[in-house]
Amino acid sequence: MCAFGADITRTSDGLQISAGPLHASDAPIDARNSGTTLRFLSGVASLLLGPTLLTGDASLRKRPMGPLLDALERLGAQAGSLGGDGRPPVKVQGVIRGGQASVPGFISSQFLSSLLIACPLAANPSEIRIVPPIRSEPYVSMTRRAMRAFGVEVDLTKNSVRIEGGQSYTPTDVDIPGDFSSAAFPLVAAAITDGDVTVEGLDADSPDGDTRIVDLLRSFGARVDTLPNRVRVRSGDLVGQTVDVGGTPDLFPVLAVLATQADGETRFVHGDHLHLKESDRIAATVSMLRALGGHAAPTADGCVVDGPQRLHGGFIDTRGDHRMLMAAAVAGLTASGPLDLSDPWCFQVSYPSFLDDMRALGALHAVVG
């Protein structure tokens, strides 16, 4: 955002952000491993005169961008993949005018969120059709909630959204709630280890789909207590079940670990978009569980896990995926031997204090090289 002309200052309790008119970035923007950054800032770039080049690490350069680029083009921007394959690096140049476009709902909610953020600033109205099936809908709700806080509304129906042009965002103060997708790791760790963990800073009223971790842990059989701003989890008699991960793909790897310690079969469904995350999370999760002695089989939209299983140590290829590494680390808490994890620092992408927090809980003794 600084490359686009924003002025961001760290304060004692957060960030202060101010900006006049933004401009295209003079240098390539490296989103590293963040699909959210790449896709949201592509929408921002479509509002600005002059080209912006956006790229990322090796994993991010494998992730699809074609549907978003096509939609931006239909709305009046110039947007394309440098390799011609619909993947990063991409070049985006404005300005979008509004109009009609469509995006698939089953690849990533980030495509739609990027358009929702950008289109109110176009001169004309926009109508975006969402091609079903629609996955990760709670993340779209999070986007709309953030936009509403800054004074912008959109008209969203089941399969389309209409956005009035010529709007503007009004500066405001916001509190950023804790992240349930990160909290899931220590909470699941408590459920499978006779532990007792409380995570603070969580807003139970958040539209974040990953708040489902609370109800899912309860339904598996863990003991869960919720108080304002905090969630406490203790172990219980875990029982397998069918879990729809269509709206909560980020929970899938650690829920699969939970399933290894539950009695009976757990079947994960509606996760076809998991193939297109930082790694193919279906293949990566099944491979990780099998490497530790778990019984897991892939399906087209998830996997089937049989439990309970006594896991053992071994080598895990995390595939550079932060959530795979953290899920594997949680699995290691029940393993009879040590785990050797590749790319051991990749958790910093989303949860920089993960290792310190787990050590503080007494749950992890790790040597990171």
SS3 231: strand
Helix boundaries (H) for 47-175: 66-74, 109-118, 137-149
Distances (CA, A) of 314 to 179, 258, 332, 342, 355: 30, 18, 9, 11, 19
Q: Reply yes or no on whether 250 is catalytic.
A: yes
208, 210, 250, 357: the catalytic one is: 250
**DSSP letter, residue 101:** E
Q: Which two tokens stand for residue 279?
A: 């790694």
Residues ≥6 apart with Cβ < 8 Å to 329: 185, 339, 341, 347, 354, 358, 364, 366
Q: Which two tokens stand for residue 216?
A: 């899912």
Whether omega before 95 lies within 30 degrees of 0, making that bond cis, reads yes
Helix boundaries (H) for 75-202: 109-118, 137-149, 180-192
Of residues 367, 5, 361, the one with CA closest to residue 186: 361
Q: How far apart are CA 195 and CA 70, in angstroms?
A: 49
SS3 81: strand
Q: Which residues are catalytic?
A: 250
